[in-house]
Amino acid sequence: MKDLKLRDKVRTLLYMIGMVAVLFMAETTIAYATSDDDALSNSILSEQPVDENRTNIREPGSSENADDLKQLNIANSLTVSYDGGNGELAGTLRILLILTAISLAPILLVTITSFTRILIVLHFTRQALNTTSAPPNQVLIAISLFLTFFIMQPTFSQIYTDAVVPFENGDIQLEEAMDLAIAPMREFMAGQTQVKDADAFMQIADIPWDGTDWKEVPTSVLIPSFIISELRSAFIIGFIIYIPFIVIDMVVASVLMSMGMMMLPPTTISMPFKILLFVLADGWNLVIVNLVRTFY
C-alpha cells in the first residue's frame, strides 16, 4: 500500500514538473512594428483602410515607449464625451439621468403634486366611517394616484411640450430643459401654497421677500412651503368630513345611555348608520369631486 501511494505521489510530481517545463519552453512571439507596412505584414493592423487619425488593431502587440505608439497612431490619452457634438447627451449619460429620475419619481410624486392632500383626505374619510380596512390602503393609494394624474395632467402636458420634446430633438441643452420643466411645477405649487408658509421659510433661509412675486422664491423654499400648505388643507377638509359622523356617534351614544346599554360600544351601533348616511348622500362623489375642485 505504501509503495502504491509513493508511486502516485511521484507520478503527480512528474506531471507537475512536465507542465511547468512546457510553460517555460513555450516560445513567446512579440510583434514589433515601425511602419504601417510592417504592421500589415505582421497582422497587427486591420486590412481595412486606415486614416492618419485612427488605427484599428487586430492583434495585441507590444511597445517599449511612447514613440512606438505614435508610429502606430495610437493616442495615449483618454477623452470622455458628454455630448454628441449637436447638443445631445451621450447615450450612457442619458441612461444614467433616466435611471436617476426614475429613482426619484416616488419622492417627487409625494412632495410636489396633489397626491399628499388626496391621500390624507381619503384616510380621514375611512376613519370617520370607522371602517378600518375598507377600502384597503392599496385601493386608497390607487385612487390617489389616478386623481393625481387627472389633476396634474395639464402641468405634465406643458412639461412634455416645453421641455421634453425640444430636448429630445436636440434644440435645447439639459440645463435649459430642466428650467423649462420646473417652471410649470413651480406655477402649480405657488398656486396651492399659502403666503404665510412661504414667508416663514423665506425668513428661516434669511431671504428678503415682499410676499407678492413668487419668482423670487427659490425652489428649495417653495417645496417645503407647499408641503406644509397641503398638510394644512388636508386636515381642514378631514375635519369638515368628520363633523356629520361625530354627530351620529353622539346621538347613538346618548340613545344607548338612555336605554341603560352602557356596556355596548357606541361605534358598533353607529357604523351601520354612518355607512347608510354616506351611501344615501352619495358620499364618495361628494368627497372626491369637491376634493378635486380645491385644486382649481
Instruction: Note the pLDDT tens digit of each residue in 31-61.
Output: 444 555 554 455 444 455 545 555 444 445 5
Q: Supply the pLDDT for residue 151.
A: 93
- Determine the pLDDT at residue 237: 94
- The pLDDT score that the predictor gives to residue 58 is 47
Please give the pLDDT value at position 145: 92
Can you give the pLDDT at residue 234?
94
Poorest-pLDDT segment among 62-71, 180-189, 215-224, 240-249: 62-71
Q: Give the residue-averaged pLDDT of 120-149.
A: 90
Cell numbers given for 252: 347613538
Distance of alpha carbon 246 from alpha carbon 242, whole angstroms: 6
From residue 3, alpha-carbon distances to 8, 13, 14 in Å are 9, 15, 16
The CA distances from residue 5 to 10, 17, 154, in Å, are: 9, 19, 85
Give the C-alpha separation, 217 to 41, whole Å. Answer: 69
Query: Quick one: pLDDT at residue 148?
Result: 93
Q: What is the pLDDT averaged over residues 230-244?
A: 93
What is the structure's pLDDT at 30?
A: 44
Q: Can you give the pLDDT at residue 67?
A: 57
Higher pLDDT, 141 or 130: 141
Lowest mean pLDDT: which of 101-110, 192-201, 244-253?
101-110
Residue-averaged pLDDT of the chain: 77
pLDDT (0 to 100) of residue 254 = 86
pLDDT above 90: residue 236: yes
pLDDT in tens, 75-134: 444 444 445 444 455 567 767 777 887 888 788 888 889 999 999 999 999 998 888 788
Q: Write down the pTM of the prediction.
A: 0.65
Q: Which pLDDT does position 178 carry in this prediction?
A: 84
Residue 2 predicted with pLDDT over 60: no
Q: Report residue 184 CA to chain centroid gap.
A: 19
Gyration radius from the chain CA atoms = 37
Strongest mean pLDDT among 57-66, 86-95, 219-228: 219-228
Domain ranges of the chain: 31-74, 105-293
Per-residue pLDDT at 88: 52
